[in-house]
C-alpha cells in the first residue's frame, strides 16, 4: 500500500491525507498557533457528529502540577480522506505525576472512518517507523519542538515493539545528540476502536525509562476507551 509522507508524526495510508504541520519551538508555540488557528478557522470543539477527541488525549490531571498545554486544537484532515478528524495537544516543559521532568510532550489523536481503515493504517507503522526513513521523520518531529538540528547520524533507536496497550500498540525509544546535549525520546502508537494516538515524549537528558512513555500511553488508551464506551 503506497504511503504519503507527513513531516510531523504521520501515519498515512492510501486514500488518507493528513495536514502538514508548521514546525514550532515550544517557547513560541502558543502565540504562533493562535494565529494559525484563527487563519484556518480551527476550534477546540469537536466537528459535528464525532466524539470529543480532546477527551481522548492526555489531560492536565495525567501530569504533574502546573501542566498547561501550548497547543490544544482540532486540525482539518481535508476532503476526500478516510480521516474524520485529528486533534493535537502539545505541552512544553512538564513533569509526570512521578516527578520525571520532560522537555517536550506531544499527542495526536486521529479518528478514521472505520476499524478496517484504522487497522490498515496501524499496520503500516512497523514498515515506516521501524526503518531509517521513519526514524528521520521522528527526529525531525523532535527537532521541530526543541529547535534542535539533530540527524539520523546523531541518533540511535531501539527496536519497535508491542507494549500491550489498547487494542494495538507499538513503542520505540531513541537517544538523540543535538547541539552539544543528548535528548532521549519515547514514541508510542496506540489504537482503540476507530481512533489512533501518537505520543512523543522527550526528556532533556538521559535516562528516560520506557515505563514513563508507556504509562502515558496507557492513560491515553484509557481515555480513548472511556469516550467510545460513553457513545
C-alpha to C-alpha distance for 33 and 72, rounded to whole angstroms = 9
Q: Give ∠ CA 94-128-213 in degrees, rounded to 5.
A: 25
**DSSP-based three-state secondary structure for 115:** helix
Cell of 191: 489504537
C-alpha to C-alpha distance for 201 and 197, rounded to whole angstroms = 13
pLDDT of residue 174: 95
User: Are 179 and 143 contacting, i.e. CB atoms less than 8 angstroms apart?
Assistant: no
pLDDT of residue 146: 66
More confident residue, 209 or 21: 209
β 104-112/195-203 pair status? antiparallel
Does the pLDDT at position 13 exceed 60? no
Instruction: Map out the domains of the chain as residue ranges.
Output: 26-229
- Average model confidence (pLDDT) for the chain? 81
**DSSP-based three-state secondary structure for 141:** helix
C-alpha to C-alpha distance for 1 and 14, rounded to whole angstroms = 6
C-alpha to C-alpha distance for 30 and 75, rounded to whole angstroms = 15
pLDDT tens track for 118-161: 999 999 999 999 998 899 889 888 877 666 677 778 789 999 99
pTM: 0.83
Fold observed for domain 26-229: Protein Transport Mog1p; Chain A (3.40.1000)
pLDDT tens track for 101-117: 999 999 999 999 999 99
Does the pLDDT at position 224 exceed 90? yes
Mean pLDDT of 189-194: 97
- Centroid of chain to Cα 76: 16
pLDDT tens track for 51-90: 999 999 999 999 999 999 999 999 877 765 688 999 999 9
Amino acid at each position: 500500500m503506497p504511503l504519503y509522507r507527513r513531516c510531523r508524526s504521520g501515519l498515512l495510508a492510501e486514500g488518507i491525507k493528513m495536514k502538514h504541520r508548521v514546525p514550532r519551538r515550544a517557547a513560541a508555540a502558543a502565540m504562533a498557533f493562535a494565529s494559525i488557528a484563527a487563519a484556518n478557522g480551527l476550534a477546540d470543539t469537536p466537528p459535528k457528529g464525532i466524539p470529543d477527541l480532546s477527551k481522548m488525549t492526555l489531560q492536565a490531571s495525567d501530569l504533574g502540577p502546573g501542566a498547561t498545554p501550548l497547543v490544544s486544537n482540532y486540525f482539518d484532515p481535508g476532503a476526500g480522506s478516510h480521516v474524520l478528524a485529528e486533534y493535537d495537544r502539545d505541552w512544553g516543559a512538564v513533569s509526570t505525576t512521578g516527578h520525571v521532568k520532560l522537555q517536550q510532550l506531544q499527542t495526536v489523536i486521529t479518528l478514521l472512518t472505520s476499524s478496517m481503515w484504522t487497522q490498515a493504517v496501524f499496520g503500516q507503522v512497523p514498515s515506516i517507523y521501524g526503518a531509517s526513513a521513519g526514524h528521520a521523520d521522528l527526529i525531525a518531529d523532535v527537532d521541530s519542538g526543541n529547535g534542535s538540528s539533530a540527524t539520523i547520524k546523531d541518533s540511535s533507536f531501539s527496536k519497535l515493539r508491542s507494549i500491550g496497550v489498547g487494542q494495538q500498540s507499538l513503542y520505540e525509544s531513541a537517544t538523540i545528540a543535538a547541539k552539544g546535549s543528548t535528548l532521549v525520546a519515547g514514541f508510542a502508537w496506540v489504537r482503540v476502536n476507530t481512533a489512533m494516538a501518537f505520543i512523543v515524549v522527550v526528556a532533556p537528558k538521559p535516562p528516560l525509562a520506557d515505563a514513563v512513555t508507556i504509562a502515558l500511553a496507557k492513560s491515553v488508551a484509557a481515555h480513548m476507551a472511556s469516550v467510545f464506551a460513553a457513545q
